[in-house]
Amino acid sequence: MKMTTPLPTILTYQHNANLHTIQTKLTAIHPFDALAEPNRNLFKQATNEDHVLITEETIFHPQGGGQPSDTGTITSTTSAATFTVSSVRMDVLDDGQVLHLGRFSTPTVPFTPGESVTQTIDAQKRLLYSRLHTAGHVLGAAVRHLLEDEIEGFDELKASHFPDSAACEFRGLIEGKWKGAIQEKVDEFVRAGMPVEVEWWGEEEFKERGLERLIPERRLGPGEKWRVVNIVGAEVYPCGGTHVERTDLCGGVTVRKISRSKGVSKVGYAVD
């Protein structure tokens, strides 16, 4: 018998991050202990009381790209049964599937694959994570504008947009004396209310703009494009995360400690 490849989950949040609830179809239910070990290892706090749901599409952002996962609920449209989502990850074995970890409101499994369900995310958490993610890109843009030509070997490396540990890392040694100037540039970009636009680019779009350095390593499939976040007037970032629509919606952004180690500088930040 020919094995069918599971369809990837449609990442609805990548096209409309303002959706806080949608109706979709449940495609699979797995007890946590039935997951393959690589997928069990994604959920460090899970127990055998947990299950994983897979849906046709999702508004839940999986943890990744420096952004925490959304939380919320998945509710049956035919009963009062609810599944509380505590953590979300991308399946490491079936490319493109999104795993929603959580627990049912009843001792038995009240859902059936194929039924219609309603997803609802925690809107306050989503807003905080979006503000932090956009603020991280604003910080990265500010540091690049100030220091790209000042620091030998400068480059942006990676970032964490988690509350209480948000930071951007850069290749090159950024001295503490730059903290004030970075804060001023960040404030300037935030006050400007720059539009934050989600776009889809192929290799040619990067080359036309002289941004070959940003072309992701992941190869594109036929007809596919990379998702980019364009802070209009500042920088472009290949990015799968959620964002606010203008830089002023980040709120106050505070540049925190600058630390240096082994040729890499980390600039911490927080949002009010």
pLDDT digits (tens, 9 = 90+) for 128-144: 999 999 999 999 999 99
In angstroms, the first-to-last Cα distance of the chain is 57
When pLDDT is cut at 50, 70 and 90, the band that residue 252 belongs to is: very high
Residues paired with 258 in a beta bridge = 267
When pLDDT is cut at 50, 70 and 90, the band that residue 4 belongs to is: low
Q: What is the structure's pLDDT at 107?
A: 85
Contact 236, 205 (CB under 8 A): no
Distance CA 162, CA 268 (A): 11
* Tokens 């007809």, located at residue: 223
For the segment 68-78, the average pLDDT, to the nearest whole number, is 95
CA angle 173, 175, 178 (to 5 degrees): 125
Residue 197 has pLDDT above 50, yes or no: yes
Q: What is the structure's pLDDT at 3?
A: 44
CA dist 111 to 12, 16, 30, 47, 53, Å? 22, 27, 11, 20, 10
Contact 189, 163 (CB under 8 A): no
Rounded to two decimals, the pTM is 0.93
